[in-house]
Structure 1
Amino acid sequence: MASFGIGTTEFVIMGLLPDVAADLGVSIPSAGLLVTGYALGVTFGSPFLAIATAKMERRRVLLFLVLLFLVGNTLCAIAPNYALLMVARVITALGHGAFFGLGSVVAAGLVAPHKRVQAVALMFSGLTLANVLGVPFGTALGQAFGWRSTFWAVVAIGMVAFAALYIFVPRNIKAEGSSLLAEARALGKVQVILAMSLSVLASASLFSVFTYITPILTQVTGVSAQNVTLVLLLFGVGLTVGNFVGGRLGDWRLMPAIIVTFIALVLVLMTLTETIYQVWPAIVSIFIWGVVMFALVSPLQIRVVNEATGAPNLASTLNQGAFNLGNAAGAWLGGLAITAGVSYAQIPWIGAIIAVAGLAVAVLSYVLERKTAIGAETPMGA
């Protein structure tokens, strides 16, 4: 429930940009910086919040982060000008990365070891449902009753989530007592760095294409502007399906599942360059793309947690920053390609190339893991 509210407040602003810009007397590009400010808040602010709360009992931290979410969205709803709205967005973003980071660790710790990735996937399902339900309905609500009404609705969701967390999350979930130096050492491990690199590359692959999906659909596929929303809704359904598929695959065999999913991602993006010219083949490919793409998210999150022994909460939070860094990098690379003369129809190749880089890193990580395991099994002096 909380992740649904957080996901909705993150993405719904894109659908409300014209309304916000008109109401506050700023340009749409300036209003668009509200998205950038939020992403930077997640990337650079959340880790400091995670460090500040590292010694606190976990349930209390989750409740505190939802309170921060409530305060931030309330300030968004009442912000009288653009500057205060930007501040409110950054405040809201601070809790985003820390909540998903800590929530992943808590969720994984509440279930049997063979269901850890599925538990993380269940939490992240709120994020995918936000794209399917929260953003369309939030946008419609804001267009009908004013953009501030959307943020008040998100505040109501946050209140329900706070009550649910207060009632159902077990008390006295102890924080792991590592020093800041020990956590820094854990974050410096090769496998942790490789795992976070995978998150950056997976997200960059997505946003290098998804950022420009509307002009791709309207100018190449021939989908009407009104029907783009329906295609994106179907893509969101694919994300939701992929989220649960990834949870099951990750609990089966984590790294092989990640490698196979990256291979599938490369293939589906290459296929999209051929199917993008016709409506129904394009729609089917985009749905499969959504399934494959989000099948990576929860396995990548749990991979970071597994490898960052001694600093799982901070590493998990930093991984949310890695995903957001990938968002920004992917959008920039896609824009750079278009500026250089790459056609909209060929943009999926950019995502495929980035996915190949992700595949290479995944294979490298797995090979190093297997070598370490074989070395540990080899008797002394053998």
Structure 2
Amino acid sequence: MTQTYPQKAAAGSPVHAHWSAVFSIALSVVSLVTAELLPISLLTPIATDLGISEGMAGQAVSATSIMGMIASLFIAAACRRVDRRLVLMGFTLISIASNVMVAAAPDYTVLLIGRLLLGISLGGFWSMAAAVSMRLVHKSLIPKALSVIFGGVSVAMAVATPLGTWLGDVAGWRGVFLVTAALGIITLVWQYSVFPSMKPAGQTRLSTLFGLLKRPQIRLAMAGMVGVFGGHFAFFTYLRPLLENVAHFSVSGVSAILLGFGIANILGTAASGMMLRRSLKGTLLFMPLILALMAAVLVRFGESQPVTAILVTLWGFVFGAVPVAWTTWLTYAVPDETESGGGLQVASIQLAITAGATLGGLLLDAHGTLGTVTGSGIILLLAAGLIGFMRCKS
């Protein structure tokens, strides 16, 4: 599906919008994020089959995240002379190989190698997502294209855990990874059919990436981004203890609320384009403020099941707009070095996830579940303060 703009396109914007390519990227996101999250729902069978502890099996997720952070910083420079069509298809191919290797893993070492390959694919893909979006659609449609792409994240987060658990019972944990590999093959064929040639727009080097950090507004924005994502993951990582120990939901109730969170997240991502058309700066600023306010209400009324259920669902909706807003900001802030900026963004988010989860765990041990929620709210408020000093074009 291609949309044509007869008017002269903005510099760097295509005259034709390649929506089929955008949707193929979204499917790739579903495949990648599903593969990233699958070990969470398959820890017990993986550990039992390979003769390891569940804690060791859980490190498969950490290994992917760490490799993703490293890859995001170096991929753009390493692939600076390669057609972006081939680069993205290469990441899809690596993810397929990763899932096949994990499915066939005879021991823990091979499993970890497969998961490290997935980290390369994830980090490289996300570092280029914004830059590729700029090559596929007109500048005015970048927020819409990004909402489609990040919709894949929301879909994967909503379905990966319950679907992985169900398929694991039906086909075994190895069969689940083979199904994910098959989805990757479908994605690769689609990308081969619809991706236009995208010659490198610049000669990105490591010096370019670190040069971006010399720009005061970039440093400020990255600090704000770490705060928003860190505050969210300090809350989200320990959401289940909040639901079970404070609001006293049953296991089925927890599952229902988590599903509601995922569906609301999808809707929030879908609505993000409309929010961003109104104001990019407003979206970046008010999302963490709203989340911080909800954290405060949860601290006060967290024992109420209706209040908690509503706020957790609303949290999913509000946060759905956050990744799209920050990636849209990136396309406006560094249009000349979007790939290097994308690498910094991915590394910052991965750092935020690790820091938020770690801090949340420390607060949980020291002050209980509500201490984690309080810490999350404070971090989000501080992030909003940093964002308030940022300069945005809209």
TM-score greater than 0.5 by the shorter chain:
yes
- In the alignment, what sits opposite 2:244? 218
Which of 189, 195, 201 is equivalent to 1:169? 195
Letter in structure 1 aligned against 2:119: A
- Contact 2:39/2:57, CA 8 A, preserved across alignment: no
- In the alignment, what sits opposite 2:378? 353
Aligned-residue RMSD, C-alpha: 1.8
The answer on 1:273 being equivalent to 2:299 is: yes
Question: Which consecutive unaligned segments of at least 5 residues does structure 2 have?
Answer: 1-26
User: Residues 252 and 116 from structure 1, CA distance in 2 versus in 1: closer, same or farther, beyond 3 angstroms?
Assistant: farther
User: Residues 222 and 179 from structure 1, CA distance in 2 versus in 1: closer, same or farther, beyond 3 angstroms?
Assistant: closer
Shift of 1:307: 2.1
- In the alignment, what sits opposite 1:147? 173
The answer on 1:96 being equivalent to 2:122 is: yes
User: Within 2, Cα distance between the matches of 1:109 and 1:32?
Assistant: 37
**What's the secondary structure of 2:286's corresponding residue?**
helix
**What's the secondary structure of 1:328's corresponding residue?**
helix
- In the alignment, what sits opposite 2:13? none
User: Within 2, Cα distance between the matches of 1:44 and 1:174?
Assistant: 21
- In the alignment, what sits opposite 2:261? 235
**What's the secondary structure of 1:100's corresponding residue?**
helix
- Contact 1:196/1:304, CA 8 A, preserved across alignment: no
User: Within 1, Cα distance between the matches of 2:57 and 2:38?
Assistant: 13
- In the alignment, what sits opposite 1:378? none
User: Within 2, Cα distance between the matches of 1:17 and 1:6?
Assistant: 18
- Contact 1:104/1:123, CA 8 A, preserved across alignment: no
Shift of 1:309: 4.1
User: Residues 307 and 269 from structure 1, CA distance in 2 versus in 1: closer, same or farther, beyond 3 angstroms?
Assistant: same
- Contact 1:69/1:92, CA 8 A, preserved across alignment: yes
- In the alignment, what sits opposite 1:376? none
- With normalisation by structure 2, the TM-score equals 0.89
Shift of 1:110: 2.1
- Contact 1:63/1:165, CA 8 A, preserved across alignment: yes
Shift of 1:282: 0.9
Deviations 1:220-268 (A, max 9, x none): 1111123312211111112111112223222332112211222212112
| Correspondence 1:7-86 to 2 at 5 A | 7-86=33-112
Shift of 1:326: 0.9
Letter in structure 1 aligned against 2:158: V
| Correspondence 1:123-202 to 2 at 5 A | 123-202=149-228
| Correspondence 1:328-339 to 2 at 5 A | 328-339=354-365
User: Within 1, Cα distance between the matches of 2:307 and 2:49?
Assistant: 40
User: Residues 172 and 38 from structure 1, CA distance in 2 versus in 1: closer, same or farther, beyond 3 angstroms?
Assistant: closer
Shift of 1:183: 4.3
User: Residues 78 and 137 from structure 1, CA distance in 2 versus in 1: closer, same or farther, beyond 3 angstroms?
Assistant: same
- Contact 2:47/2:57, CA 8 A, preserved across alignment: yes
**In percent, how many aligned pairs have the same letter?**
25
- In the alignment, what sits opposite 1:118? 144
- In the alignment, what sits opposite 2:9? none
Shift of 1:348: 1.5
User: Within 1, Cα distance between the matches of 2:216 and 2:273?
Assistant: 24
- Contact 1:131/1:233, CA 8 A, preserved across alignment: no
User: Residues 186 and 4 from structure 1, CA distance in 2 versus in 1: closer, same or farther, beyond 3 angstroms?
Assistant: same
- In the alignment, what sits opposite 2:312? 286
User: Within 1, Cα distance between the matches of 2:334 and 2:214?
Assistant: 9
Shift of 1:203: 1.5
Letter in structure 1 aligned against 2:322: L
- In the alignment, what sits opposite 1:327? 353
Further displaced range: 17-26 or 198-207: 198-207
User: Within 1, Cα distance between the matches of 2:208 and 2:364?
Assistant: 44
User: Within 2, Cα distance between the matches of 1:187 and 1:56?
Assistant: 25
Further displaced range: 283-292 or 331-340: 331-340
**What's the secondary structure of 1:80's corresponding residue?**
coil
Deviations 1:263-317 (A, max 9, x none): 2121122122233212222111001011111211111122233323432112213
- Contact 2:70/2:123, CA 8 A, preserved across alignment: no
User: Residues 178 and 324 from structure 1, CA distance in 2 versus in 1: closer, same or farther, beyond 3 angstroms?
Assistant: closer
**What's the secondary structure of 1:120's corresponding residue?**
helix
The alignment of Structure 1 onto Structure 2 pairs a total of residues equal to 368
User: Within 1, Cα distance between the matches of 2:389 and 2:328?
Assistant: 18
- Contact 1:192/1:304, CA 8 A, preserved across alignment: no
Further displaced range: 179-188 or 13-22: 179-188
User: Residues 98 and 251 from structure 1, CA distance in 2 versus in 1: closer, same or farther, beyond 3 angstroms?
Assistant: farther
- With normalisation by structure 1, the TM-score equals 0.91
Letter in structure 2 aligned against 1:323: I
Shift of 1:42: 0.8
User: Within 2, Cα distance between the matches of 1:273 and 1:212?
Assistant: 14
Further displaced range: 63-72 or 199-208: 199-208
User: Within 2, Cα distance between the matches of 1:259 and 1:39?
Assistant: 27
User: Residues 231 and 187 from structure 1, CA distance in 2 versus in 1: closer, same or farther, beyond 3 angstroms?
Assistant: same
Letter in structure 1 aligned against 2:338: P
**What's the secondary structure of 2:292's corresponding residue?**
helix
Shift of 1:173: 4.1
